[in-house]
Amino acid sequence: MLKLPTSLRLQLLWRALLFCSLSGALLLGLLLYQGYRAKQQQLADIPQRIELQLMPMLAQSVWDVDQTATQKLLQNLLQQDGVRQISLRSTDGSVLLQLGSRDETVTHIVELPVQSARTGDQPLGLLRIGLSLGTLEQQLWRDSLTLLLLMLAALAGLTLVCYRFLLQQVLHPVQQLQGRLNTQPPQEDSSSNELQQLSASLQLLQQQHQEQDSSQQQHEREQARHRDQLTEMVALRTAELEHLSRFQHLVSELSTAFVHMPLHEQHQAVATALERIGSLLGVDRCYLFRVTPDMLIRDNQEWCAAGIVSTASHYESYPLRQSQWFVQQLQRHQFLAYASLADIPQEGHVERELFEQHGIQSIALVALSQQEQLLGIFGCDAVSHTRVWLDKELSLLRLVGEMLSGLLLRQEQQAQLEAAQAALSRANEKLDGIANTDGLTGLANRRLFDQRKQQEFAAACALKQELSLLLIDVDLFKAYNDCFGHQEGDQCLRQLAAALTQQFAGEEQLIARLGGEEFAVLLPHCDARAASQLAEALRQHIWQLAIPHMASPVSTNVTVSIGVASLDRHRHDSMEDLQAEADSRLYQAKHQGRNRVIGPEPVRQA
């Protein structure tokens, strides 16, 4: 089947011709219809027009019997459209004048009386007119065809102008647009027109646009997803940096605090530090285990989150030698961190089982070492959940470990220093005791007595207090030594020292052996009367000891002579003045027969 070309240009041309044809047929029918109606109306109007326009002149010419004028009037009437025959008849019916061809087809005959005002109602004759509609129809067809041709020519010109306008303003731009939109070369045998091709191109373009929109939306969704992921990563990184910054600040703060902290405050400071570190890291346990030189865990400190069971007591006195793999790895790497206990190799199954018993899921441990000596272990446990240890966190935990290593080292050094200081203090006290103590009796020696007497004298003068001094001498002690020997003499002196210590047990009182058989007692806050009474009581106590002294002419027992002096600020300008007075009274006691007390107040001798 032959396909007609359906180019848009040809379609427009065919449709323009069809429009012109239809328009011409419609216009012709309309013209014929209107012309036919007009001709019929024209035929109907002829009698009335003749009566109004021609009949008065015709009646006048007939009345005047003017043959020429009558014929001329009828000739003019015959020239009118539709009039084919005219005859003027008399009243009796005879033809007076007849014009027109008798062969003409007459469709209508109109008879009009010729009347004049002069004759009244009596007609002058009868005018018979033959009308032909065919003549009018022929004329109508000629006029209609002429007008139709003119209108068709005008429509053809208008169509040509419109065609040229559409060709330039529509078809060429459409073809250019279709050429730009069409991604495939045009097919020469295609039966589609430009609009269909343009529609297909537009559909293809719309499909491509939808695909691009879909691709763009997918791309935007991908970008939004990447943006959300990036935002989440930035938020996580920011939170991580803030977390690490707080942790680093805490480590710096603790390091500074521990450097200058006294030893007695460090234990509580470590407990506080463990709590702060554990809370900041979000772990469940944070602990410090101290390791002794024989590899035992001692003096544990542990912080536990709420609801977490402490394990410090389980590790107290734990022998690390039972965990050789663990100790070797810790000393070799100085750090162990496991996000899951499953990461612990088979060699560490003992430690893994121990950790599992305590509910540990993740663990990080730092060795606290100094010169290959393990001082302790610092660690953090995650019990309620597994935890991935960040590299920065592990670095900061190492810093905490270094800080705690220094702390334990300082504690050990401080303990050693305190032990050395205590030993030195004891040695100094021992030396002081040796330097200030009489080797025979254990009493204060003359060196200590000389120091204390000046101190007590200055205090008594400044505070206006009482101060007394007793000087004691064993009667005839040389004769005792000669009689019993020096060993017995030393034993006698020790017994006398014990009696003095028993008699003067006050903390402020000082008993001293000045040398040989001479003793002194320094009595702060003691007046002359009380001092004399104490001296007498001492003399009697020594006599009652009943230490035999066969070589003494005074008594069969060992006796003493005592000189007593009490501070008088008007007479005693120095301690030497006070001591000289006591010595003088001791001398008086000896010369008055010994075995007596001489003081500022008289004493009743027993």
Domains of the chain: 8-156 (3.30.450), 261-417 (3.30.450.40), 437-598 (3.30.70.270)
The residue among 592 and 281 whose pLDDT is bigger is: 592
Is residue 44 over pLDDT 50?
Answer: yes
The model's confidence at residue 253, banded by pLDDT at 50, 70 and 90, is: confident
Is residue 360 over pLDDT 80?
Answer: yes
E strand or H helix that includes residue 346: none
The residue among 283 and 186 whose pLDDT is bigger is: 283
Q: What is the pLDDT of residues 204-248, one digit of tens each?
A: 878 888 888 888 888 888 888 888 888 888 877 776 667 667 767
Q: Residue 97: beta bridge partners? A: 88
The model's confidence at residue 4, banded by pLDDT at 50, 70 and 90, is: very low
User: Residue 188's pLDDT is what?
Assistant: 46
Q: What is the pLDDT of residues 534-561, one digit of tens each?
A: 999 999 999 999 999 988 898 999 999 9
Task: Give the residue numbers annotated as catalytic, written as ranges.
Answer: 517
What is d(CA 368, CA 376) in angstroms, rounded to the nearest whole number?
A: 5
The model's confidence at residue 527, banded by pLDDT at 50, 70 and 90, is: very high
Mean pLDDT of the chain: 82
User: Residue 257's pLDDT is what?
Assistant: 67
Is residue 5 over pLDDT 50?
Answer: no
What is d(CA 43, CA 82) in angstroms, rounded to the nearest whole number?
A: 7
Q: Residue 471: beta bridge partners? A: 520, 563
Is residue 190 over pLDDT 60?
Answer: no
The model's confidence at residue 107, banded by pLDDT at 50, 70 and 90, is: confident
Is residue 192 over pLDDT 70?
Answer: no
What is d(CA 131, CA 106) in angstroms, rounded to the nearest whole number?
A: 6
Q: Which two tokens stand for residue 372?
A: 């290959």
Is residue 189 over pLDDT 50?
Answer: no
E strand or H helix that includes residue 26: helix 8-49
User: Residue 171's pLDDT is what?
Assistant: 67
User: Residue 16's pLDDT is what?
Assistant: 72
User: Residue 449's pLDDT is what?
Assistant: 93
The model's confidence at residue 405, banded by pLDDT at 50, 70 and 90, is: confident
Q: Which two tokens stand for residue 436?
A: 């200030």
Mean pLDDT of 162-182: 70
Is residue 447 over pLDDT 80?
Answer: yes
Is residue 1 over pLDDT 50?
Answer: no
Through-space distance between the first and last CA atoms of the chain, rounded to whole angstroms: 175
Is residue 312 over pLDDT 70?
Answer: yes
The residue among 22 and 48 whose pLDDT is bigger is: 22
Counting Cβ atoms within 10 Å, is residue 31 exposed (0-12), middle (13-18) or buried (19+)? buried
Q: What is the pLDDT of residues 315-346, one digit of tens each?
A: 888 888 888 888 888 888 888 999 998 899 98
What is d(CA 190, CA 479) in angstroms, rounded to the nearest whole number?
A: 163
Of the candidates 528, 470, 519, which has an alpha carbon nearest to the alpha carbon of residue 498? Answer: 519
Where is mean pLDDT largest: 108-112, 123-127, 359-363, 373-377? Answer: 359-363
Look up the pTM and report it. Answer: 0.43
User: Residue 12's pLDDT is what?
Assistant: 67
CB 484 within 8 A of CB 552: no
What is d(CA 175, CA 168) in angstroms, rounded to the nearest whole number?
A: 11
What is d(CA 66, CA 69) in angstroms, rounded to the nearest whole number?
A: 5
Q: What is the pLDDT of residues 290-307, one digit of tens each?
A: 888 888 888 888 999 998
The residue among 402 and 593 whose pLDDT is bigger is: 593
Mean pLDDT of 451-458: 94
Greatest CA span in the chain, whole angstroms?
A: 238
The residue among 110 and 581 whose pLDDT is bigger is: 581
User: Residue 412's pLDDT is what?
Assistant: 77
Q: What is the pLDDT of residues 409-419, one digit of tens each?
A: 777 777 778 88
